[in-house]
């Protein structure tokens, strides 16, 4: 399943996958991490219980090209908004944010209105997620 | 089981040659075992009926934990439920009880499960989303308004804050004037699987074991009709674990908990009968049935031989089963009703004592009243219309099922031995072993789903062009829930006696520093003084510290 290494001008695409908030269901996040790594991207997985501030700090420290947030908690709109606001506050608003998990259709437009670059509800085939993140990363 | 095995084997070979059976497409179980096109008595010739199967309600309980099984009553039917504030949850519970659910399976929100009050910064977006918000005894009172504790069975999915919730339940019972001996219910009280797969932990493992054993000890002495453990395979199974891993990892955790009870000076014959389990199963009916039969036999032998139990009731694997919500799909979600129905059938044929059932909209949201009702009806139709409840272990004696039972038992024991050799569950978890195996399986599952090696109807098989996401009505989170909860919390804090709170929290902290003190009584005192759940947990955090996971992908 090795594809041609996904790369930016500066080397492999770097992605942060984060579990932000209190939810501890990490199966989806971990599976996405594996698919992204198989596609040649460098992935940092934060582990659980990250605050929006911690997510953005990691995104900056690790110099990632794309930030991915994973939710089963129903808290996706509130917490995504906080992450995006913090990215702006830290001067790195250009880092695209994508969101995955249990997200009802009605929440997709509100997330996009916040500035989310991609929404991947439960059931999205991982290769679709990989492709979308690859495209976002190549623009970085 | 021997019916001239050698002759049968010879005849099978002849049949195979004549009918060119070798050219049939191969088929494998989830365990990766090749499945023969047909099974015969020769495949189970070493099974001794009386030694290995016996009778339901009798050691080794392969055929069921009770003699009458579903003839007496079908399995207990519940739906995991709770959201918003205590009032919102109380209303939904009354609806579920009126439609025929036996008791309530309490869902608490994430802030509550993690020991945070509704006004905590990290709770802001999560209050009342995945369960009910409970901060003080007042919330418990409202949640159970109109529901008398001596008439209701309460099953709590609560782990890190289990001691606090138990304290609140006891305090509520005392307020209602209900004797503790009349209380029926279950507490999950299982931290190891949280460390592995669900993340709702607070304290480090040693402190968790102490708190779990405090709960066990208190219930064994004071709440004889309560199950102070509901040891969960479901968490790991839904994170991706195989059938074998689900049972092996659960039993490894259970061994640690039983040992902690024994080390505390409790008798296995006393608390053994109060242990319960919770597993998840999918639609592979025969394999899941075999899994449950093997699990009963393994547990019975374990309690008897390793822990020296002498009372048969101390050897019983009483368990709740649930259909695996993780196999439900967002495309053509009505198909999930059928997936759920087959899974209920598997659990019933497997002899579960209770079932929680995920509603068809599980991939999207928590249930609406309509989907909650459908979930209950799925169970009720199986129990009351199919006739499978007429006799115990109806699949017993099937050559295939007996063969599968033996094979999965061997696989489970092998995996359990591996964990023993690592030093037991705590060590395996510290080393990230369980987490890694589960992540690997989840990845493999996803790959199979993509390639079609794992058929999923409507998704990778028979997919329709227009198969989009269904236009369904989903449960909508009430945006006022958090504010209402915070208001009640603030009011409770205004009305209480701050000196009593300070005194009881200090006493709690003192007690926590002493490993020989059971923390439930000081928690009850703090609860009655209207200390909040967050305050009680902060007092314990100051003594025990918090756990940081080894990140394993």
pLDDT for B99: 82
pLDDT at A9: 62
Nearest residue, CB atoms, B442 vs list A30, A46, A51 = A30
Here the tokens at position B34 are 């090749």
| Contacts of residue B359, Cβ cutoff 8 Å, sequence gap at least 6 | B79, B367, B368, B371, B372, B374, B375
Which site among B124, B199, B471 would you substitute to test the A interface, given the most A Cβ atoms closer than 10 Å to its Cβ? B199
pLDDT reading at B468 higher than 70: no
Coil, strand or helix: which one is A100? strand
Which chain B residues have a beta carbon less than 8 Å from that of A27? 197, 238-240, 326, 439, 442
Residues of chain B with CATH 3.20.20.240: 70-451
Q: Which of A27, A51, A82 sits opposite B442 (nearest CB)?
A: A27
Q: Tell me if chain B has a CB within 8 Å of the CB of A45.
A: yes
- Domains annotated on chain A, with CATH: 7-138 (3.40.50.280)
What does each C-alpha distance from A63 to A39, A88, A92, B232, B551 come to in angstroms? 19, 15, 10, 39, 20
Q: Which residue of A has its CA nearest to B237?
A: A27
Q: What is the pLDDT of residue B100?
A: 80
Residue B467: its pLDDT value, please?
58
Smallest Cβ–Cβ distance between A123 and the set B200, B329, B551 belongs to B329
User: Of the ranges B159-173, B307-321, B366-380, which one carries the lowest mean pLDDT score?
Assistant: B366-380
Closest partner residue to B126 among A1, A22, A82, by Cβ? A22
End-to-end, the C-alpha distance of chain B in Å comes to 46
Interface residue B477 vs chain A (CB under 8 A): yes
Whether the pLDDT of residue B45 is over 70: the answer is: yes
Q: What are A60-114's pLDDT values in tens digits?
A: 999 999 999 999 888 999 999 999 999 999 999 999 999 999 998 899 999 999 9
Measured over the CA atoms of residue B518, residue B520, residue B526 and residue B531, the dihedral's sign is positive
pLDDT(B243) > 50? yes
Q: Bigger pLDDT: B3 or B13?
A: B13
Q: Following CA atoms B361, B161, B190, B419 in sequence, which dihedral angle do they give, to the nearest 10 degrees?
A: 110
Percent of chain A with pLDDT over 70: 94
Give the tens place of pLDDT for each residue, B100-122: 877 888 999 999 999 999 999 99
- Residue B364, chain A, CB below 8 Å: the answer is yes
Q: Return the CA Rg of chain A.
A: 14
Residue B17 has pLDDT above 50, yes or no: yes
pLDDT at B1 over 50: no
- What phi and psi, each to the nearest 5 degrees, are found at residue B327? -95, 0
Across the range B69-77, mean pLDDT stands at 94
Residue A10 pLDDT exceeds 90: no
Q: Does A11 touch chain B (CB under 8 A)?
A: no
In terms of CA atoms, which chain B residue is nearest residue A38? B443
CATH class held by domain B70-451:
alpha beta
Work out the minimum CA distance from B273 to partner chain A, whole angstroms.
Answer: 31
Q: What digits encode the pLDDT tens for the residues B120-148?
A: 999 999 999 889 999 999 999 999 999 98
Please report the pLDDT score of residue A1 as a whole number. Answer: 45
How far is residue B316's CA from residue B59's CA, in Å, rounded to a whole number?
9
B-chain residues near A31 (CB < 8 A): 439, 442-443, 446
pLDDT band at B366 (very low <50, low <70, confident <90, very high): confident
Residue closest to B394 by CA, chosen among B346, B438, B354, B434: B346
Q: Is the pLDDT of residue B332 over 90?
A: yes
What is d(CA B378, CA B325) in angstroms, rounded to the nearest whole number? 14
Is the predicted pLDDT of residue B172 greater than 90, yes or no?
yes
Rounded Cα–Cα distance for residues B325 and B527 (Å): 35
User: Chain A: nearest CA to B442, how far in angstroms?
Assistant: 7
User: Given an 8 Å threshold on Cβ–Cβ distance, is B365 in contact with A125?
Assistant: no
Residues in B 80-119 with any Cβ partner in A closer than 8 A: 110-111, 113-114, 116
Nearest-neighbour CA in chain B from A21: distance (Å): 7
Average pLDDT over all residues of chain B = 94
Interchain CB distance below 8 Å, A122 and B199: no
Nearest CA in chain B to A29: B553
On the 0-12 / 13-18 / 19+ scale of CB atoms within 10 A, B279 is: buried
pLDDT digits over B333-344, tens only? Answer: 999 999 999 999
Residue in B116, B198, B443 closest to A24 by CB: B198
Instruction: Judge whether residue B3 has pLDDT over 80.
Output: no
- Over range B407-412, report the average pLDDT: 97
Give the closest-approach CA distance of B326 to chain A in angstroms: 10
Residue B44 is given by DSSP the state G
Chain A touched by B474 (CB under 8 Å): yes
pLDDT above 90 covers a percentage of chain B that reads 86
Interfacial A residues in 71-110 facing B (CB < 8 Å): 73-75, 77-79, 82, 102, 104-106
Return residues 323-342 of B near A (CB < 8 Å): 326, 329-331
Q: What is the pLDDT confidence band of residue A5, given thresholds at 50, 70 and 90?
A: low
Q: Give the DSSP letter of residue A6.
A: P
pLDDT of B400: 97
* Structure confidence at residue A3 as a pLDDT band (50, 70, 90): very low
């Amino acid at each position: 399943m090795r594809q041609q290494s996904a790369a930016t001008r500066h080397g492999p695409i770097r992605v942060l996958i984060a579990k932000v908030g209190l939810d501890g269901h990490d199966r989806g996040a971990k599976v996405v991490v594996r698919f992204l790594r198989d596609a040649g991207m460098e992935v940092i997985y934060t582990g659980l219980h990250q605050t929006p501030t911690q997510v953005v700090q990691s995104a900056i420290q690790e110099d990632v090209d794309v930030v991915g947030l994973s939710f089963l908690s129903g808290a996706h709109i509130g917490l995504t908004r906080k992450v995006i606001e913090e990215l702006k506050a830290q001067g790195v608003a250009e880092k695209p944010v994508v969101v995955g998990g249990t997200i009802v259709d009605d929440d997709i437009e509100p997330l996009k209105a916040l500035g989310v670059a991609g929404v991947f509800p439960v059931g999205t085939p991982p290769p679709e997620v990989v492709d979308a993140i690859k495209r976002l990363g190549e623009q970085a | 089981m021997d019916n001239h095995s050698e002759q049968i084997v010879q005849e099978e070979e002849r049949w195979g040659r004549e009918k060119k059976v070798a050219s049939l497409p191969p088929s494998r179980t989830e365990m990766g075992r090749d499945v023969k096109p047909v099974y015969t008595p020769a495949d189970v010739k070493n099974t001794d009926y009386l030694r290995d199967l016996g009778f339901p309600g009798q050691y080794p309980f392969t055929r069921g934990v009770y003699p009458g099984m579903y003839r007496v009553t079908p399995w207990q039917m519940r739906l995991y439920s709770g959201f918003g504030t205590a009032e919102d949850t109380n209303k939904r519970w009354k609806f579920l009880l009126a439609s025929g659910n036996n008791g309530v399976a309490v869902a608490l929100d994430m802030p509550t499960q993690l020991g945070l009050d509704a006004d905590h910064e990290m709770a802001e977006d999560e209050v009342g989303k995945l369960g009910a918000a409970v901060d003080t005894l007042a919330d418990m009172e409202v949640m159970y308004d109109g529901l008398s504790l001596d008439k209701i069975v309460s099953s709590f999915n609560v782990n890190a804050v289990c001691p606090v919730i138990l304290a609140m339940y006891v305090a509520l019972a005392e307020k209602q004037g209900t004797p503790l001996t009349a209380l029926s219910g279950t507490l999950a009280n299982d931290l190891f699987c949280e460390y592995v797969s669900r993340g709702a932990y607070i304290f480090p493992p040693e402190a968790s074991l102490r708190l779990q054993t405090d709960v066990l000890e208190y219930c064994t002495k004071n709440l004889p009709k309560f199950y102070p453990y509901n040891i969960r395979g479901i968490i790991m199974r839904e994170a991706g674990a195989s059938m074998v891993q689900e049972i092996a990892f659960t039993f490894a955790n259970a061994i640690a908990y039983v040992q902690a009870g024994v080390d505390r000076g409790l008798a296995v014959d006393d608390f053994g009968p109060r242990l319960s389990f919770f597993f998840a199963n999918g639609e592979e009916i025969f394999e899941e049935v075999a899994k449950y039969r093997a699990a009963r036999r393994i547990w019975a032998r374990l309690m008897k031989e390793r822990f020296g139990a002498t009372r048969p009731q101390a050897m019983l694997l009483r368990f709740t089963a649930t259909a695996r919500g993780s196999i439900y799909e967002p495309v053509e979600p009505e198909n999930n009703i059928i997936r759920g129905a087959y899974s209920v059938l598997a659990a019933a044929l497997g002899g579960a004592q209770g079932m929680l059932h995920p509603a068809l909209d599980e991939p999207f949201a928590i249930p609406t009243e309509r989907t909650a009702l459908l979930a209950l009806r799925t169970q009720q139709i199986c129990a009351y219309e199919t006739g499978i409840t007429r006799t115990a272990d109806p699949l017993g004696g099937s050559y295939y099922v007996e063969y599968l039972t033996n094979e999965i038992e061997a696989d489970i024991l092998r995996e359990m031995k591996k964990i023993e050799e690592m030093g037991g569950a705590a060590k395996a978890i510290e080393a990230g072993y369980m987490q890694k195996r589960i992540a690997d399986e989840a990845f493999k599952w996803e790959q199979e789903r993509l390639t079609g090696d794992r058929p999923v109807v409507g998704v990778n098989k028979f997919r329709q062009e227009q198969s989009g996401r269904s236009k369904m009505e989903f449960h909508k989170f009430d945006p006022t829930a958090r504010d209402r909860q915070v208001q009640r919390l603030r009011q409770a804090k205004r009305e209480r006696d701050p000196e009593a709170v300070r005194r009881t929290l200090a006493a709690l902290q003192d007690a926590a520093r002493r490993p020989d003190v059971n923390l439930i009584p000081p928690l009850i005192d703090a609860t009655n003084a209207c200390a909040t759940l967050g305050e009680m947990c902060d007092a314990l955090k100051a003594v025990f510290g918090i756990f940081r996971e080894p990140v394993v992908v």
